[in-house]
Chains A and B, each alone.
Chain A
């Protein structure tokens, strides 16, 4: 073991290592992750480039990462880690970068929809324990003002018996309150 390297580094790369055990230095920039990523075309920073920025340990680059659209577009489809020759586990790293981006209030404006959706989702299960799909869609729409998007789906879903009108509640909703309050603490739910 090297004794020259401090165990805790203040850079984003150091935080990633501490929280996810992902070592950015492992990446040798072959680009196989970017090549296989299904949403790379939509990303502002391809995954391999994101790792490169992380490797620099320069504060302005760290900020670029946290403000990127990329971290919100990642689908966690695990294709990158499935093929990475260096086994750099990108998906959990993305999870961490998202929470860090929220914590530092650096969320990319284009990620609004995505976060709104995730929040509506979590709200739904916080109060009932299970997902209430109609409620989720309504809550999401009120958050994003996308009132007419997907409006066409609902009637057909109702016709096919796919959409319920009454949320199902679990018996011990108190369990949900306990789980949410103990894990979220602050920061995630605005």
Chain B
């Protein structure tokens, strides 16, 4: 005979302001099988949990229903409490009366009624729960870090220094990411390359780190502690063991006018190239889309000049599978290009550039050797306008969020400009100066007070070219919306930070969720900022939301700490919510008819064939068997099984039907 306890939580006022918790508890006490029912202000607090534990002992409960928040929030909390009181944790269920009731409905009678209904159906379900035992699985103590920008570098180094193997996978020919393109960094104005390149070298030399550049993750199977990562190593068309990185091929390559990705199109590169002199690995790749040999079948000049015969035109892409226990996503961000702004010139004015292009102009290693020269004619701009919030905080353009880094880098740009062009005037159009961070506000004040940048609070309506000048039409809202027209020599748009192209595809490959802007979603915005909803996959840096360098590095170290924590275990316990094919005594063995239709639909390749044979090896029957280590409990096979031989622990057909029946208020099964 079932003895169920119901515990209704007020969640402060989160639930009780809308749902009448007293009446929900009172109503539950009258349900068949319920022997105890109470409500309490904070059920997840220590006294709240004690309430549950004592009730389990006192009333000899065989099942518990906690009516509170989403199971994603506190199911582990309450299941642990039950276990501590000697009740199998899988005999505890949560009725979500917060996200499903109080947060989404007005305070009305029907909201309370809905809460009562939700409790009723979970009471019916829990009566049919079975005591389950957790599954134990081993852990592969190797991490794959995807993305070799500053976040990926930091995460890799932290995990490697913790004593574990790391495979760092980078899409481009070199690691370094956007940070390697920056000139100087706020708020200290230290040279970006000077602080980053030593860490890049450290990655290359670390005994625990394997670096695969020019490679992409194309598949992922398995689960926490036991992932199989499929990686495409794109053909670099060189033998990396023979290549010494002497650079002769890149000097001799006759194709020289390809816009350099690293220089943001402000400089050029040959078809066989390393993105920049400090690249890691410092060995070239051949860009097949632009190489004359690949296009026309002749040239091979690089092959002739290579002193070590390292060129391999026939090298194929290689697809490799790697075992790993944890994944860190560190794929970074991108920025909107100037052609996103029709009113600012549709990307047709050469001297309207974006923030990353300005970084290259200001960089000592950039195309102008660090001189601020405008792209159209190489002149030094005397009037320069910086436009903040170019695309950010702009719902009309589909980007509602603040890109977070632009206020600071715009102040930095104005400063760098003034340090290099003493007689020039920098203007900044801004909406708000968002400079929250250590030494950040002081920094922007310096741009205004010391470097005398003209900050104008207002948005720019349009930019047009007139007699070699760019006329910037804006307004000064602090002067009541007065129109301001500046004839500028160059304009820098602080364009919005957006998710990296390809982030959506990658999210689908690795099964992590992402937000509507295609940034990867964290498991909890406050308490699980570096975890994803997929156990064992962690986030580092700006792939999760726009972040500056300090924040990206912090997140990366956070993700590395999570990986190291995971790797501290030799085996993991998993929830036993897996599918199972029934078994019975011979000669039937199972109701499974062995059609194996379930096999191809399983997304996790968890379904195997099991054969029953006589002693002399004659096949009696072949049936499906589900590997509990691989099964993720998605239930696809359950729905598909024609002979209804598969069921899901914790969500059995019987449990679900009972819930539905209870909801429909029909005669209970």
Indicate if A touches B (C-beta under 8 A).
Answer: yes
Chain A residues near B (Cβ < 8 Å) = 1, 3, 28-37, 40-41, 45-49, 79, 83-87
Which of B273-281, B435-443, B459-467 forms contacts with chain A?
A: B459-467
B427 to chain A, nearest CB (A): 14
B461 touches A36 (CB 8 A): yes
Q: B residues within 8 A CB of A33?
A: 461
Q: A residues within 8 A CB of B482?
A: 34, 46
B389, B393, B480, B484: which contacts A35 (Cβ < 8 A)? B484
B388 to chain A, nearest CB (A): 11
Between A and B, 24 residue pairs with Cβ closer than 8 Å are A28-B431, A30-B389, A30-B459, A31-B475, A31-B477, A31-B481, A32-B459, A32-B460, A32-B475, A34-B458, A35-B474, A35-B483, A40-B481, A45-B480, A46-B480, A46-B483, A48-B477, A83-B343, A83-B396, A83-B461, A85-B396, A85-B397, A87-B395, A87-B396
Q: A residues within 8 A CB of B380?
A: none
A5 to chain B, nearest CB (A): 14
Q: Given the complex of chains A and B, what is the CA–CA distance between A32 and B396 in angstroms?
A: 13
A35 touches B395 (CB 8 A): no
Q: Given A30-B459, A35-B459, does the pair A85, B477 have CB atoms closer than 8 Å?
A: no
B109 to chain A, nearest CB (A): 15
B477 touches A29 (CB 8 A): yes
Instruction: Identify the 4 closest CB pairs spanning chains A and B, nearest first.
Output: A46-B481, A36-B461, A35-B461, A34-B481
Q: A residues within 8 A CB of B484?
A: 35
Q: A residues within 8 A CB of B393?
A: 28, 85
Q: Given the complex of chains A and B, what is the CA–CA distance between A45 and B481 in angstroms?
A: 8
Of all chain A residues, the one with the shortest Cβ separation from B432 is: A28
Q: Given A31-B458, A86-B396, does the pair A49, B431 have CB atoms closer than 8 Å?
A: no
Q: A residues within 8 A CB of B481?
A: 31, 34, 40, 45-49
- Most central of B389, B393, B396 by chain A CB within 10 Å: B396
Residue B551 lies at the interface, judged by CB distance under 8 Å to chain A: no
Q: Given the complex of chains A and B, what is the CA–CA distance between A85 and B391 in angstroms?
A: 9
Of all chain B residues, the one with the shortest Cβ separation from A84 is: B396
Of all chain A residues, the one with the shortest Cβ separation from B392 is: A85
Q: Given A30-B431, A32-B461, A48-B481, does the pair A3, B106 have CB atoms closer than 8 Å?
A: yes
Of all chain A residues, the one with the shortest Cβ separation from B343 is: A83
Chain B positions 536 through 560: 1 when the CB is less than 8 Å from some CB of chain A, otherwise 0: 0000000000000000000000000
Of all chain B residues, the one with the shortest Cβ separation from A86 is: B395
Inter-chain pairs besides A35-B460, A49-B480, 14 sampled, C-beta below 8 Å: A30-B459, A31-B475, A32-B460, A35-B458, A35-B461, A35-B462, A36-B462, A36-B473, A45-B481, A48-B481, A49-B477, A49-B481, A83-B462, A85-B459
Q: B residues within 8 A CB of A83?
A: 343, 396, 461-462
B458 touches A30 (CB 8 A): yes
Q: Given the complex of chains A and B, what is the CA–CA distance between A57 and B500 in angstroms?
A: 43
B473 touches A35 (CB 8 A): yes
Q: Given the complex of chains A and B, what is the CA–CA distance between A49 and B457 in angstroms?
A: 13
Q: A residues within 8 A CB of B457?
A: 31
A24 to chain B, nearest CB (A): 15
Q: B residues within 8 A CB of A47?
A: 481
Chain B positions 308 through 347: 1 when the CB is less than 8 Å from some CB of chain A, otherwise 0: 0000000000000000000000000000000000010000
B396 touches A40 (CB 8 A): no
Of all chain A residues, the one with the shortest Cβ separation from B483 is: A40
Q: A residues within 8 A CB of B459?
A: 30-32, 35, 85
- Most central of A35, A36, A79 by chain B CB within 10 Å: A35
Q: A residues within 8 A CB of B461?
A: 32-33, 35-36, 79, 83
CB proximity to A under 8 Å, residues B554-571: none
- Most central of A3, A31, A32 by chain B CB within 10 Å: A31
Q: A residues within 8 A CB of B389?
A: 30
CB proximity to A under 8 Å, residues B467-504: 473-477, 480-484
Q: Given the complex of chains A and B, what is the CA–CA distance between A28 and B473 in angstroms?
A: 19
A4 to chain B, nearest CB (A): 12
Residue B190 lies at the interface, judged by CB distance under 8 Å to chain A: no
Q: Given A30-B431, A35-B460, does the pair A46, B475 have CB atoms closer than 8 Å?
A: yes
Q: Given the complex of chains A and B, what is the CA–CA distance between A33 and B477 in angstroms?
A: 11
Residue B99 lies at the interface, judged by CB distance under 8 Å to chain A: no
Q: Given A30-B477, A31-B476, A36-B462, does the pair A85, B395 have CB atoms closer than 8 Å?
A: yes
B396 touches A41 (CB 8 A): no
Q: Given the complex of chains A and B, what is the CA–CA distance between A79 and B473 in angstroms?
A: 13
B391 to chain A, nearest CB (A): 9
B204 to chain A, nearest CB (A): 44
Q: Given the complex of chains A and B, what is the CA–CA distance between A31 and B481 in angstroms?
A: 6
Q: Given the complex of chains A and B, what is the CA–CA distance between A49 and B459 in angstroms?
A: 14
Q: A residues within 8 A CB of B458?
A: 30-32, 34-35
Q: Given the complex of chains A and B, what is the CA–CA distance between A33 and B474 in angstroms?
A: 9
- Most central of B431, B459, B474 by chain A CB within 10 Å: B459
B475 touches A48 (CB 8 A): yes
Q: Given the complex of chains A and B, what is the CA–CA distance between A62 and B179 in angstroms?
A: 51
Residue B394 lies at the interface, judged by CB distance under 8 Å to chain A: yes
Q: Given the complex of chains A and B, what is the CA–CA distance between A46 and B461 in angstroms?
A: 14
Q: Given the complex of chains A and B, what is the CA–CA distance between A85 and B458 in angstroms?
A: 12
B469 to chain A, nearest CB (A): 17
B343 to chain A, nearest CB (A): 6
Q: A residues within 8 A CB of B460?
A: 32, 35
B483 touches A41 (CB 8 A): yes
B102 to chain A, nearest CB (A): 13
Q: Given the complex of chains A and B, what is the CA–CA distance between A30 and B476 in angstroms?
A: 9
Q: B residues within 8 A CB of A3?
A: 106
CB proximity to A under 8 Å, residues B413-459: 431, 457-459
Q: Given A3-B106, A85-B394, does the pair A35, B475 have CB atoms closer than 8 Å?
A: yes
Q: Given the complex of chains A and B, what is the CA–CA distance between A33 and B480 in angstroms?
A: 12
- Most central of B395, B397, B458, B475 by chain A CB within 10 Å: B475
